[in-house]
């Protein structure tokens, strides 16, 4: 029998820096007191301890501890929640949605709930659409209502003054407003001054009826949510142009296609979804949460295997991940009884995602912007979802179905068992990707050499990266040299370097060199086999026009995406990912 926990995590200098800053236990003086191996042993034992609730034998528990350890120590699967818990055993979901009704009691109750969650590091989404518009009459007092934006400022102020100085992580909110709310213009413009609502991401909830009005050049009715009466009618094209203009200037708001989200809602019998978590990948019902983890796809590359992918191991890790995340729900620190009821007793949502997608494509020598790349994305995500659902179904037979199973699409489709109402989510995986030393989520390479800065999770340290897959490809072609890599570092791109052949340039196109339609096709490929949503930023060049942003929204709707986030380069003074000045010049030319 092999030694327990026998794999030694292999971390380079940057990975170790991230582990020290973000994940490893520290003593009272702030000195790191464990290794990555120690951390993964500690986490694996904790997650496997939930098995005792289901009468798993001691021998099977030890085997699961080893299995959980192996997939983490080899960086095949990572979940941020237990890693940044740092031994406190207060496992929380990273994303929540809280309800907001049109009353001061509801608003301040929700503010109190958000404080409880934020101080432990959660990100929270809210739908402000039920709040009456600014200037409308409050019947109990006869005075004018202050409107949704004023209460967003209240939540933002609370985060900044009370929480961000002492919470586990920087507090983050997602504010949602429907496109047919009378205050929608104010909402769209709310962050054109980026010094405002600094703790908020904003998204407009776009409806099918709005998109029809936009396409036909007609008007939309803006309705007072408190009375249901039409407050005004506005040209749909004007509102879409306003969104595009604001995104062009400040990268906000994002948009979510709320009707598409509800068409794919796996528990329609429980309620309609109206909001998402902080980054948009998790549409949730009020008080719902979701436990997330990601599979590092480039760890499953194998040169001589079928299609270059270790399919058998990918299936094994996917199934282990389902069990791992379901165990996390059992161990979860739910803070509020309402959260306990809908998450543990109700829907038990988990979300297995992926990271390292661009790295895997580079290893396989498949361009990101290609039909072959899109088809492989569909195949891999379908494979992950099918294995995850099958494992969840098996757990349902053993442990019991989620309580709302008979209100779900699974029951209507003839499934007999399902432990979890959802099993797949594509999250952004920012810091986890840095720790796994791979590209984030399903994004293309931002640049082939770049820096990361303005990241609170890493104490705002500046970290430089050079693409190792590119180095490997250049060595295979006998082209690698320090001089050549200095050229790459100077621009972040290889598109204008004459010594590099076109076949390599084709593989290593960066995010700004990939046309927006390919970004959308790739997002749609993953969304097709994802229960929840796909967090992806469509990075566009500084020269992109407002009209081109509008066209992205049209295409995204036709592809049945659940949401779109567009970031125009240099639309903000501070950004996390940065290329050099020569790369900026190049982006303007191409």
Active-site residues, by number, are: 277, 279, 281
The enclosing H or E element of 452 equals strand 449-452
* CB-based contacts of 470, cutoff 8 Å, min separation 6: 362, 448, 488, 494, 504, 508
- The 3-state DSSP class for residue 126 equals strand
How many whole angstroms separate alpha carbon 182 and alpha carbon 278? 24
Query: CA-CA distance, 355 to 297, in Å (whole number)?
Result: 6
Per-residue tokens: 46? 């904790």
Rg of the chain over CA atoms, in angstroms?
24
Residues 6+ apart with CB under 8 A from 250: 191, 192, 194, 571, 572
Q: How many CA atoms lie within 13 A of 230 on its CB side?
A: 6
Q: C-alpha dihedral over 203, 207, 211, 213, to 10 degrees?
A: -120
**Beta carbons of 431 and 321 less than 8 angstroms apart:** no
φ, ψ dihedrals at 534, nearest 5° = -115, 120
Taking each helix axis from N to C end, the angle separating 468-476 and 357-364, rounded to the nearest 10 degrees, works out to 0
In sequence order, the 6+-apart residues with CB closer than 8 A to the CB of 60 are: 51
Cis peptide upstream of residue 387 (ω within 30 degrees of 0): no
Q: Which two tokens stand for residue 242?
A: 């306003």
Work out the angle at residue 567's Cα, subtended by the Cα atoms of residues 564 and 572, and round it to the nearest 5 degrees: 140
**At 582, phi and psi to the nearest 5?**
-70, -35
**Residue 539, phi then psi, degrees to nearest 5:** -80, 125
Tell me the two tokens of residue 508: 């290593």
Report the alpha-carbon distance of residue 83 to residue 98 in Å, rounded.
25
The DSSP bridge pattern shows strands 350-355 and 123-127 to be unpaired
Q: Strand pairing of 254-257 and 200-206?
A: parallel
Q: What angle do CA 232, 238, 239 make, to 5 degrees?
A: 70
- Residue 590 to residue 588: CA distance in whole angstroms: 6
Q: And the tokens for 245?
A: 């203009």
H or E element at residue 504: helix 502-507
Q: Reduced to 3 states, what is the DSSP secondary structure of residue 10?
A: coil
How would you class 399 by CB atoms within 10 Å of its CB: exposed for 0-12, middle for 13-18, buried for 19 or more?
A: middle
Cα 72–chain centre separation? 20
Stated length of the chain: 590
């Amino acid at each position: 029998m092999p030694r327990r926990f026998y794999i030694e995590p292999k971390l380079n200098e940057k990975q170790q820096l991230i582990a020290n800053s973000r994940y490893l236990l520290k003593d009272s003086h702030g000195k790191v007191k464990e290794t990555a191996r120690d951390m993964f042993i500690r986490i694996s034992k904790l997650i496997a301890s939930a098995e005792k609730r289901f009468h798993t034998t001691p021998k099977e528990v030890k085997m699961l501890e080893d299995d959980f350890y192996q997939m983490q120590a080899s960086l095949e699967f990572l979940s941020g929640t237990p890693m940044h818990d740092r031994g406190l055993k207060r496992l929380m979901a990273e994303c929540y949605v809280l309800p907001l009704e049109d009353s001061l009691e509801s608003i301040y109750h929700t503010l109190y709930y958000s404080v409880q969650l934020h101080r432990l590091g959660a990100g929270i989404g809210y739908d402000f659409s039920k709040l009456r518009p600014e200037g409308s009459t409050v019947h109990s007092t006869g005075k004018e209502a202050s409107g949704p934006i004023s209460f967003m400022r209240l939540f933002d102020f609370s985060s900044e003054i009370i929480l961000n100085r002492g919470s586990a992580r920087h507090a983050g909110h997602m504010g949602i407003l429907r496109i047919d709310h009378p205050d929608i213009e104010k909402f769209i413009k709310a962050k054109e001054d980026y010094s405002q609502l600094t703790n908020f991401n904003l998204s407009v909830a776009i409806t099918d009826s709005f998109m029809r009005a936009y396409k036909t050049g007609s008007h939309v009715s803006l309705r007072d949510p408190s009375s249901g009466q039409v407050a005004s009618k506005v040209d749909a094209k004007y509102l879409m142009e306003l969104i595009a203009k604001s995104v062009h200037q400040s990268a906000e708001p994002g948009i979510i296609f709320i009707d598409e989200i509800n068409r794919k809602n796996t528990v329609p019998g429980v309620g309609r979804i109206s909001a998402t978590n902080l980054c948009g990948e998790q549409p949730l019902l009020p008080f719902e949460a979701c436990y997330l983890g990601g599979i590092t796809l480039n760890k499953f590359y194998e040169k001589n295997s079928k299609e270059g992918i270790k399919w058998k191991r990918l299936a094994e890790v996917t199934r282990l991940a389902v069990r791992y995340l379901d165990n996390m729900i059992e161990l979860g620190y739910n803070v509020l009884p309402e959260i306990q009821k809908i998450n543990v007793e109700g829907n038990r949502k988990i979300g297995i995602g992926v990271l390292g997608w661009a790295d895997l494509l580079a290893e396989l020598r498949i361009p990101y912007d290609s039909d072959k790349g899109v088809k492989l994305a569909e195949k891999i995500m379908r494979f992950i979802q099918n294995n995850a659902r099958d494992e969840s179904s098996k757990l349902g037979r053993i442990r019991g179905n989620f309580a709302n199973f008979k209100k779900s699409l699974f029951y209507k489709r003839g499934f007999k068992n399902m432990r979890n109402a959802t099993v797949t989510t594509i999250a952004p995986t920012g810091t986890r990707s840095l720790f796994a030393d791979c590209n984030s989520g399903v994004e293309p390479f931002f640049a082939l050499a770049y820096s990361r800065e303005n990241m609170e999770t890493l104490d705002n340290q500046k970290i430089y990266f050079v693409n190792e897959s590119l180095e490997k490809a250049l060595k295979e072609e006998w082209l690698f040299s320090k001089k050549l890599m200095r050229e790459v570092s100077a621009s972040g791109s290889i598109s204008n370097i004459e010594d590099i052949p076109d076949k390599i340039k084709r593989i290593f196109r960066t995010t700004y060199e990939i046309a927006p339609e390919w970004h959308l096709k790739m997002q749609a490929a993953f969304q097709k086999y994802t229960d929840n949503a796909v967090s992806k930023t469509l990075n566009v060049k500084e020269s992109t026009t407002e009209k081109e942003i509008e066209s992205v929204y049209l295409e995204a709707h036709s592809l049945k995406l659940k949401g779109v986030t567009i970031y125009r380069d240099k639309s903000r003074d501070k950004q996390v990912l940065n290329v050099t000045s020569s790369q900026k010049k190049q982006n303007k030319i191409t």
